[in-house]
A and B are shown apart, each in its own frame.
Chain A
Amino acid sequence: MFDFSIITSWVHGLLTSWMPEGLAIFLECVIVGVCLLLMYAVIAIVMIFMERKVCAAFQCRLGPMRVGPWGTVQVFCDVIKMLTKEIITIRHSDRFLYNLAPYIVILASVLAFACLPVSRGLEILDFNVGVFFLMAASSIGVVGILLAGWSSNNKYSLIGAMRSGAQMISYELSIGLSILTIVVLTDTMQFSEIVERQADGWFLFKGHLPALIAFVIYLIAGNAEVNRGPFDLPEAESELTAGYHTEYSGMHFGLFYVAEFVNLFIISGVAATIFLGGWMPLHISGWEGFNTVMDYIPGFVWFFAKAFFVVWLLMWIKWTFPRLRIDQILTLEWKYLVPIGLVNLLLMVIVVVFKLHF
């Protein structure tokens, strides 16, 4: 398995041989930041294209077909269009918060995105409380959404923001519980470590029943966390026209839009990392030949394949189910998912204490 830290340490060595260490680290941070944002944008474009194609397939349509082969250039055109559009300022809005809100949302999203280990040695933010940091960073997003709804001075936006607040804060709990279940199994919060421990089998298989329950809860709660159907109440277009981002235009709207798609990827990426082994290839103990062949496939291919598989699952759900109502969403969370999650956590503790896992 190729280790990317060879490249990164080579770059580091090269830079320090030319300049003082402080400057080299600063330069490296800048390079990493640029790469991160570039990857963020590329992922967003791929996600948007995928969404349009997947949804078209479910709806007996073709999706974008005209611009480029199979419509592949369509999304780039849309991005350029979005960039050139005017950002309309709204009268009687809270100007400062109104302009700040999309950046808070995108900031939370980028911070969470930086936590994902893409391949061996290719992780940006990786320290001993990584899981904790990811959850903390991703929950800043709801602040941006609440601010957007409040500062727009629009009643629809406000209702959308309130719904979003109620929903995202509730479902954070279930996400936390299901991730905690896996943390109990691994006894580490560091993402690279979590992935390493899955070398002899993914946690979804190693943790069997409690891990499976946690995975299902995580998918449901994760879907709700990123405000996608059937949990897309905050922006239910048939009820609130567009919810919290009704009044946003141009790239400010674009930031919400991109953040929503990358958040979906982050949710899927985290699912892939903690349940499906991240960049770790599929290993079956005893099948040495099989394992060696699997190791030839690079880690980032494994990671993206797993993440996009989960994305596809979530898109399938979105394009099939009707939308829930606000009271049903909260009932689902507080009366079903949280109690099940708590019991499941206990179950995992028992499994770990009595060494019932594989």
Chain B
Amino acid sequence: MNSNLKDKITAWEPAAVWSESGDGLFTVPADRFRALAERLHAEGFDFLRSLTGMDWGEEGFGVVYHLEATSTGENVVLRTLTPDRENPVLPSVCDLWKGANLNEREAFDYFGIRFLNHPDMRRLYLRDDWVGYPLRKDYDPAQNPLRMSNEVAKDSTASFELMPDGSIIRKRNVLFEEEEYVINIGPQHPATHGVLRFRVSLEGEIIRKLDAHCGYIHRGIEKMCEELTYPQTLALTDRLDYLGASQNRHALCMCIEKGLGIEVTDRVKYIRTIMDELQRIDSHLLFFSCLCMDMGALTAFFYGFRDREKVLDILEQTTGGRLIQAYNTIGGVQADIHPEFVRKTKEFIAYMRPLLREYHEVFTGNVIAQERLKGTGVLTREDAISFGATGGTGRASGWACDVRKRHPYAAYDHVKFDEVLFTEGDCFARYMVRMREIEQSLNIIEQLIDNIPEGDYQLKMKPVIRIPEGSYYAAVEGSRGEFGVFIESRGDKYPYRMKFRSTGLPLVACLDTIARGAKIADLIAIGGTLDYVVPDIDR
């Protein structure tokens, strides 16, 4: 972080304490935090990259905020905490950054931190009858035996407000009125692409309100990581966004390498970049297929899957896996590329380019597809930034949010490619962004594939990896947005806290805003073009 910004923040909030460990961050007292957050938001820090709940043991509970100014590209990391372990209360920032809404619910779910003035303080992933808060360090799993009863859907939620006399009152907020026609879309529904559940209030075909329920495939990966050594944690990242397995693992490896202070060889960087781009093509082809299927064009669905198979074959030959690749390791990759990898990849590039035209003929140009996608589900640029809806969704709204451009990593500073930007923010723009990105990914691979430098594919690592004390954040451009990894280390061989910035959670967060006033069929198109993957939302 540049010293200029550091001085500014110290001037705005003298109580903020700078600490150098890891990436470096400011510690702000809870009672002063809200004012500083408002100031930072007003000064252009409009993008909340990540919000991480924390249990610092003796110090108490708190939250780490990663903020970025989209206009200047400046980053700042803040943390705030409360020493009260019985009733931790912190100010909410969900009115400043809309994306904080679900993230604060997640922190409440995991740590029991109640956020003042948050309109909807429900658990996000776990059941309402869950006892205790699982990511607290003093949590006892025996409190929660396997429950065999159904969870009853509640139509109300709670919010907490601070009274002038210092006491906190609980308010009841109504989600759905008694007379509303509420239907469940999901968790078992063909168009939610996994076990995501929406409760939708309808007026005829028109959506009045949408309430997303997550957690049907929640596995507690962040909790599991705290009991695994660093190399062991790698196995879990592939299970987050399974269409971005390569990129997720890349992000975690980068974060650990950053903590260890090691630099991988150029060969590794090139291989990782090519793998990430192949993975992106894989994901975008699946996106095309599934969107077509959701829209009822079943023939186009098969076209996408036919060609995705070719990508998977290439990936399989080198990594051994088709969906779960387990390829990146700390300091390198698992194995060198297959002798046929270069030839097959080049063949694929030559094969894929003309087929994209076929896709446009069979689906994009279709009058029904255009009528259904154009002008529906508009997400404005301000909302995209506020929600932190990165990836193709953000770029369709005109926000240049590509991590490959903002914070170049691996070999992305060696290649020329365009960041695909649209300004409409509707379903069609989101669709076109991804179709164009396939072309850009092909361009990137084409530039790298013949120039993979010689060198080791794996650095020699110590058998036991310990990251120096501090907190680290690294992000890659996943298939559907910024995928970030936040590690807080206390110098052990286990992470003290590991948090994954989900690419899908902000997309789900903005769904209510986009879908209001749309029709049921539009919700399917919106969900299809937002392109979320549920295991990545639930973690």
Within 8 A of A (CB), among B346-375: 362-363, 366, 368-369, 371-372
Interface size class of B (residues with CB under 8 A): 20 to 34
Interface size on A, residues (CB 8 A): 29
Within 8 A of A (CB), among B268-306: 292-299, 301-303, 306
State the Cβ distance, A188 to closest chain B Cβ, in Å: 38
**A59 lies within 8 A of chain B by Cβ:** yes
Known contacts: A60-B303, A60-B306. The answer to whether A229 contacts B522 by CB under 8 A is: no
**Contact indicator B298/A59 (Cβ below 8 Å):** yes
**A323 lies within 8 A of chain B by Cβ:** yes
**A3 lies within 8 A of chain B by Cβ:** no
**B205 lies within 8 A of chain A by Cβ:** yes
Kindly name the residue among A156, A230, A238 whose own CB sees the greatest number of chain B CB atoms within 10 A. A238
**B73 lies within 8 A of chain A by Cβ:** no
State the Cβ distance, A238 to closest chain B Cβ, in Å: 4
**Contact indicator B306/A322 (Cβ below 8 Å):** no
**Contact indicator A241/B298 (Cβ below 8 Å):** no
CB-nearest residue of chain A relative to B189?
A241
Task: Give the chain A neighbours of B303 by CB distance below 8 A.
Answer: 60
**Contact indicator A159/B205 (Cβ below 8 Å):** yes
Task: Give the chain A neighbours of B368 by CB distance below 8 A.
Answer: 230, 321-324, 328
Kindly name the residue among A237, A239, A240 whose own CB sees the greatest number of chain B CB atoms within 10 A. A239
**A325 lies within 8 A of chain B by Cβ:** yes
**A282 lies within 8 A of chain B by Cβ:** no
Known contacts: A60-B306, A241-B189. The answer to whether A322 contacts B524 by CB under 8 A is: no
**B191 lies within 8 A of chain A by Cβ:** yes
**Contact indicator A322/B191 (Cβ below 8 Å):** no
**Contact indicator A322/B372 (Cβ below 8 Å):** yes
Which single member of B202, B296, B366, B524 contacts A229 (CB below 8 Å)? B296
**Contact indicator A320/B299 (Cβ below 8 Å):** yes
Known contacts: A322-B372, A326-B519, A326-B521. The answer to whether A238 contacts B302 by CB under 8 A is: no
State the Cβ distance, B102 to closest chain A Cβ, in Å: 25
**Contact indicator B297/A321 (Cβ below 8 Å):** yes
Q: C-beta contact mask, A218-244 vs B, less than 8 Å → 1, else 0?
A: 000000000001101100111111000
CB-nearest residue of chain B relative to A231?
B296
Which single member of B183, B190, B306, B522 contacts A155 (CB below 8 Å)? B183
Task: Give the chain B neighbours of A319 by CB distance below 8 A.
Answer: 298-299
Task: Give the chain A neighbours of B519 by CB distance below 8 A.
Answer: 325-327
Within 8 A of A (CB), among B289-333: 292-299, 301-303, 306
**Contact indicator A322/B183 (Cβ below 8 Å):** no
**Contact indicator B520/A238 (Cβ below 8 Å):** no
Inter-chain CA distance A159–B520, complex, in Å, is 10
Give the secondary structure class of B's interface: helix
Known contacts: A319-B299, A325-B521. The answer to whether A238 contacts B366 by CB under 8 A is: no
Inter-chain CA distance A230–B297, complex, in Å, is 8
**Contact indicator B369/A239 (Cβ below 8 Å):** no
Which single member of A156, A240, A324 contacts B372 (CB below 8 Å)? A324
Inter-chain CA distance A319–B183, complex, in Å, is 29
**Contact indicator A322/B520 (Cβ below 8 Å):** no
**Contact indicator A239/B191 (Cβ below 8 Å):** yes
**B181 lies within 8 A of chain A by Cβ:** yes
Which single member of A238, A324, A325 contacts B293 (CB below 8 Å)? A238
**A58 lies within 8 A of chain B by Cβ:** yes
State the Cβ distance, B385 to closest chain A Cβ, in Å: 30
Known contacts: A320-B362, A322-B369, A326-B519. The answer to whether A236 contacts B299 by CB under 8 A is: no
Inter-chain CA distance A321–B190, complex, in Å, is 19
Task: Give the chain A neighbours of B292 by CB distance below 8 A.
Answer: 322
**Contact indicator A322/B522 (Cβ below 8 Å):** no
Kindly name the residue among B292, B299, B362 whose own CB sees the greatest number of chain A CB atoms within 10 A. B299
**Contact indicator A230/B298 (Cβ below 8 Å):** no
Task: Give the chain B neighbours of A324 by CB distance below 8 A.
Answer: 368, 371-372
**Contact indicator A238/B297 (Cβ below 8 Å):** no
Closest A-B pairs by Cβ, 4 of them: A323-B296, A322-B297, A322-B295, A59-B302
Listed A/B pairs (14) with beta-carbon separation below 8 Å: A58-B299, A59-B298, A59-B302, A163-B205, A238-B294, A238-B295, A240-B520, A320-B297, A322-B292, A322-B372, A323-B372, A325-B371, A325-B519, A326-B205
